[in-house]
Structure 1
Amino acid sequence: MSGHAGENARQRGETHVLYVHFGGLTADAGGEYYEALLALLTDITPVVQALPPDAALADVRGALRYFRRDAVELARLVRLRALALYGVDCTVGVAAGPLLARMAAQAGEPGQVREVRPAETAAFLDSRPVAALHGVGPATARALCGYGLDSVGRLAAAPLATLQRILGAAAGRRLHERARGIDPTPVTPTAPPRSASAEHLFERDELDAGRRRGALLTLADDLGFRLRAEGQVARALTLTVRYADRTATTRTRALPEPTAHTPALAAVAYALHDALALQRARVRGVTLRAEELTAAELAAHQLSFDVREEKARRAEAAADRARRRFGVSAVRPAGSNPPRAA
């Protein structure tokens, strides 16, 4: 590789943003490998933005001269290291900004490095469906398609005033710029939000919904106790259900408010489970992951005048004291299942 490649790319002001998708990470395995994969990126550049659970953005402008590689060569280096060290096959989009880098990564088969150079932006975007433009959700896509704006090229050609009438002033201007590949959003270095997980494996493939709910109560109780002991609360909860055929389903739901209260965690776990409609499913195991952890003292809570809730929290605090003194299995909520190590 040419020693001047990175310097030449930097001087031309060309591609320097990588969107890296770590293929094959699951919700439960991702916590084990995700931070290590982010560390692999930070070995190349300190400007890494975590996009959990399985992606990241990296601005490699400062690394081009140091490594004497252009952005595409650095992307290939990332793929090689991730595959060699962790067995993870990455898909990497390379462009001048996060929007195009993300779209480049999502534009074809996984396990490749795809670059969109500034001169290729219009041709790349022209025939892409409007739903492929980052920030266009299903409702917005339907609204735009209703006016015949079903491709990014047509969206780019539409007058700004037309888009603002359809979508509103701010959203119309934002999409008008994105359809032309204009994305001033910087890559902001961030660490992944902390998470904690608990898993239950059934002794045999479980068909009974009541037993599955009992396992979820146990997991919610374990997570709640751990979070309360560490002075943390969760903002979201993820349920992973693994089946007898080795497939899995993962669902995430935001909590009504940040909490470590066992009944609140259990209620969301039940809702996630029931929404899957697993009447005939043979379930091998379930995993709960408390997401987006933050310090309890920094979280805002809605005031409650419910006497029953206050009593429940006092009972929970008493149970926590008993566990700290006599062991975590000293107190269990009624209806829970004893946990089994994974």
Structure 2
Amino acid sequence: MGARTATTLGEYGLHTVGDVADIPQLTLQRLLGARAGRALHERAQGRDTQVVNPTPTPASISSEHHFDRDELDPAAHRRALLALGTRLRASGQIASGLTCTIHYSDRSSTRRSRVLSEATQHTVLLARAAYAVYESLGLQRARVRSIALRADAFRPAGAATRQLTLDVSDDKPLAIEAVTDRARARYGHPVLYPAALAATPALGRRRAAGQGPGPEKP
């Protein structure tokens, strides 16, 4: 009960729970509005219809990838940023904030945070935000040892909203997420990722030879 509600009740001589319990529900609704009056009447009578979840909501969910060797390949860096959405959907939460932490071979690190334009749990939307944070770092062939991504500022998934568009291509990645979640749960997360991030045979041979990803394209 807020200060404004307490003031309104006080003006009518209602100062205790016992005072409120003696007042008819319709009277409280006229004083406070339909929803607030009904809720206050129920609680004054010792009834609370809210469902209590005994499992505490996590303060954040993190995903961290450690590379087998110091990694220069931006595609490998990007693949490491894709694991968070599946865990968020399993938790029933949506995230409003995203933090990316890069650890380098010299033991230094860089951290960047971003507030999302709309809270989400969808991999494609989280990935866009994570890629934007990654691009803002301007790594320029940095030797990366690990990448950590953290989602926070949680809200229940039922409170999610989404700006509708007329572009059907925006809906396709969201429509197949349930399928990819089941595939990853069975075969592991690396089994599915965007084709643009797939390692090429030539890149695999260069890595095997210890030559790195090759010269950067202009």
* Pairwise TM-score range, normalised by the shorter structure: 0.5 to 0.7
What CA distance in whole angstroms lies between the structure 1 residues aligned with 2:146 and 2:184? 26
Letter in 2 for 1:249: T
CA shift for structure 1 position 288: 0.4
What CA distance in whole angstroms lies between the structure 2 residues aligned with 1:193 and 1:292? 10
SS of alignment partner, residue 63 of structure 2? strand
The equivalent position to 1:233 in structure 2, one of 65, 71, 94, is 94
The equivalent position to 1:261 in structure 2, one of 110, 122, 139, is 122
* Bigger RCO (CA 8 Å, 6+ sep): 2
What CA distance in whole angstroms lies between the structure 2 residues aligned with 1:249 and 1:285? 11
CA shift for structure 1 position 331: 4.7
**Matched-pair identity in %:** 47
Letter in 2 for 1:286: I
> For the Cα contact (< 8 Å) 2:97–2:114, is it kept in 1?
yes
List gaps (5 residues or longer) in structure 2: 1-55, 200-218
1:204 aligns with 2:69: yes
What CA distance in whole angstroms lies between the structure 1 residues aligned with 2:132 and 2:149? 13
| Match of residue 288 from structure 1 | 149
Following TM superposition, the consecutive aligned residue runs of length 4 or more in structure 1 with deviations greater than 6 angstroms are: none
Q: State the number of aligned residues.
A: 142
Q: RMSD between aligned alpha carbons?
A: 2.4
| Match of residue 316 from structure 1 | 177
> For the Cα contact (< 8 Å) 1:215–1:336, is it kept in 2?
no
1:88-140 deviations in whole A, cap 9, x for unaligned? xxxxxxxxxxxxxxxxxxxxxxxxxxxxxxxxxxxxxxxxxxxxxxxxxxxxx
Letter in 1 for 2:156: A
The equivalent position to 2:133 in structure 1, one of 260, 272, 281, is 272
The equivalent position to 2:111 in structure 1, one of 250, 255, 269, is 250
Q: What's the TM-score, normalizing by structure 2?
A: 0.58
With over 3 angstroms needed to count, the CA separation of the structure-2 counterparts of 1:205 and 1:309, relative to structure 1, is: same
What CA distance in whole angstroms lies between the structure 1 residues aligned with 2:192 and 2:91? 19
> For the Cα contact (< 8 Å) 1:322–1:330, is it kept in 2?
no
CA shift for structure 1 position 295: 0.8
1:221-270 deviations in whole A, cap 9, x for unaligned? x2101111222111011000011111111100111211111111111111
CA shift for structure 1 position 293: 1.6
What CA distance in whole angstroms lies between the structure 2 residues aligned with 1:265 and 1:312? 12
> For the Cα contact (< 8 Å) 2:184–2:192, is it kept in 1?
no
1:67-87 deviations in whole A, cap 9, x for unaligned? xxxxxxxxxxxxxxxxxxxxx
SS of alignment partner, residue 98 of structure 2? strand
> For the Cα contact (< 8 Å) 2:98–2:152, is it kept in 1?
yes
Spell out the pairing of 1:45-84 with structure 2 (5 A cutoff): none
> For the Cα contact (< 8 Å) 2:94–2:121, is it kept in 1?
yes
> For the Cα contact (< 8 Å) 1:193–1:292, is it kept in 2?
no
Spell out the pairing of 1:166-205 with structure 2 (5 A cutoff): 194-205=59-70
What CA distance in whole angstroms lies between the structure 2 residues aligned with 1:269 and 1:236? 10
Q: What's the TM-score, normalizing by structure 1?
A: 0.38
What CA distance in whole angstroms lies between the structure 2 residues aligned with 1:215 and 1:246? 19
Letter in 2 for 1:290: A
What CA distance in whole angstroms lies between the structure 1 residues aligned with 2:156 and 2:77? 30
What CA distance in whole angstroms lies between the structure 1 residues aligned with 2:140 and 2:163? 36
| Match of residue 193 from structure 2 | 333
> For the Cα contact (< 8 Å) 1:237–1:289, is it kept in 2?
yes
SS of alignment partner, residue 289 of structure 1? strand
> For the Cα contact (< 8 Å) 2:69–2:145, is it kept in 1?
yes
With over 3 angstroms needed to count, the CA separation of the structure-2 counterparts of 1:232 and 1:333, relative to structure 1, is: same
> For the Cα contact (< 8 Å) 2:99–2:113, is it kept in 1?
yes
> For the Cα contact (< 8 Å) 1:319–1:331, is it kept in 2?
no
What CA distance in whole angstroms lies between the structure 2 residues aligned with 1:336 and 1:215? 12
What CA distance in whole angstroms lies between the structure 2 residues aligned with 1:214 and 1:276? 16
> For the Cα contact (< 8 Å) 2:97–2:153, is it kept in 1?
yes
